[in-house]
A and B are shown apart, each in its own frame.
Chain A
C-alpha cells in the first residue's frame, strides 16, 4: 500500500446522461463508503449529469466528447494512478450496482487480489439474466475460460474493484469497444494479475442500453476479440503509470 494504514479509495462512476439517477447513486455511496472519493466521468452527457455530480461534491472529469465506456473508465484509472490511489472501484452511474456491496469487493482486494469481479450469478439471491443475455454471458465465460483458464461466472459484470497494480495497468491499457469487461479481465489475467470473483447482489437492470440483435452482435464480437487477443504480443512493461503532470501535484 502506498498510503500505509489508510488506503485511498477512488470509486470510478462512468455516466452518460444519468441526470436522474446520479445524485441517488452518489448519496448511496457516501452513506455506505464514506471514506472513498467519488469520481464521476461525464462521458459527453447532453444533460446536467456533470453539474449535478459536481453539486453533490464528486470529482467530475468531463470528457469533451463521448468516448464510450472503455475510454471513460480509463480516464478514471488515469486519474487514480496520477493521484496515488491504492484501490479503485468501477461502479455504474445508472443505479444498478449497490453501494452496500462495495466493501465486500474491497475486502477481496485487501486479501491479495488485483481484480475482483462482483458476480451477480454467484449470489444466493439468484439474479436472473434475460434469456439472450444469459446465453451471451455463458458463451463469453466459456471463451474467457479457454483463453485464460479462469472460471468466471459473470464475466460481463461491470461492478469491479482493483489493486494499485491493476490501476496502473488499466491506466495504460484498457479495451475501448462496447462490452469491454470480459476483455479487460482477460488482459489482466494474461499479464499476471490475480483475478477473483465474489458474490454480490445487484438490482435488476431497468432497461438495457442496447437491443437483442446488437446484444448478440456485441457478444460475438467480444468472443472474437478474446480469441484474437491471444495472437497479440503482451504489452511491454512500460514506465509506471502516466504521470505527465506529477510536479504540479507537489
Chain B
C-alpha cells in the first residue's frame, strides 16, 4: 500500500494514457493493414506490458526491493531488452526479404531472356499481343 502511494495519481494517469495510446496505435495499424500481424506481436506484447506497469506501478518497486536494484536500472534494462528484440527481429526479416528479392531479380532476368528468345523464334507475332491477331481476321 505504501508502495502504491509513492506514485502520484497524475503520474499514473499519464502512464495509463500513454499505454492506451500505444495499444490503440498498434491495433489501428493492423486494422489499416499497415502492419502485418506477425510483426505486430512484439509491439502488442510491449504495449500490454506497459499497460500492466501503468496500472500496477508498484511492480518495479517490489522488484527493486526483492533484487535490490535501482528502479531506473530495471526500466532501462527492460527498454533495452525490448529494443534489442525488435532490432534482432528486423534483421531477420530484412535478411529473408533480401534473399527473396534477389531470387526474384534472378528469375526476372532469366524469364526476360526467355521472352526475348520466344519473340525472336516467332517472327511477326512478336509485335501483336496474343489474341489480337485472331480478332483481326473474321
Is A62 at the interface (CB under 8 A from chain B)? yes
Contacts of A62 in B (CB 8 A): 109, 112-113
The total of chain A residues at the interface (CB under 8 A) is 19
Contacts of B108 in A (CB 8 A): 63-64
Minimum distance in angstroms from A170 CB to a CB of chain B: 12
Minimum distance in angstroms from A243 CB to a CB of chain B: 11
Minimum distance in angstroms from A5 CB to a CB of chain B: 25
Q: Are A75 and B110 in contact (CB under 8 A)?
A: yes
**Which parts of B97-131 form the interface with A (CB within 8 Å)?**
102, 105-114
Q: Are A61 and B105 in contact (CB under 8 A)?
A: no
Q: Give complex CA distance A245, B113 in Å.
A: 13
**Which parts of B72-116 form the interface with A (CB within 8 Å)?**
102, 105-114
> Provided the pairs A67-B102, A71-B105, A176-B102 are in contact, do residues A78 and B113 lie with their beta carbons within 8 angstroms?
no
**Chain B residue nearest in CB terms to A54:** B116
Within the complex, which residue of B105, B110, B112 is in contact with A67, where a contact is CB–CB below 8 Å? B105
Q: Give complex CA distance A191, B18 in Å.
A: 54
Is A65 at the interface (CB under 8 A from chain B)? yes
Is A82 at the interface (CB under 8 A from chain B)? yes
Within the complex, which residue of B106, B111, B113 is in contact with A74, where a contact is CB–CB below 8 Å? B106
Contacts of A74 in B (CB 8 A): 106
Minimum distance in angstroms from B128 CB to a CB of chain A: 21
**Chain A residue nearest in CB terms to B106:** A75
Is A41 at the interface (CB under 8 A from chain B)? yes
Q: Give complex CA distance A71, B114 in Å.
A: 19
Contacts of B111 in A (CB 8 A): 245
Q: Give complex CA distance A62, B115 in Å.
A: 12
**Which parts of A144-164 form the interface with B (CB within 8 Å)?**
none
Q: Give complex CA distance A59, B102 in Å.
A: 20
Given contacts A61-B113, A64-B108, 11 further A-B contacts (CB under 8 A): A59-B113, A61-B109, A61-B112, A63-B105, A64-B105, A71-B102, A74-B106, A78-B106, A79-B110, A82-B110, A244-B107
Q: 9 tightest CB-CB pairs across the interface, nearest first?
A: A61-B109, A75-B106, A63-B109, A71-B102, A64-B108, A61-B113, A63-B105, A75-B109, A64-B105
B-side interface residues toward A, CB under 8 Å? 102, 105-114
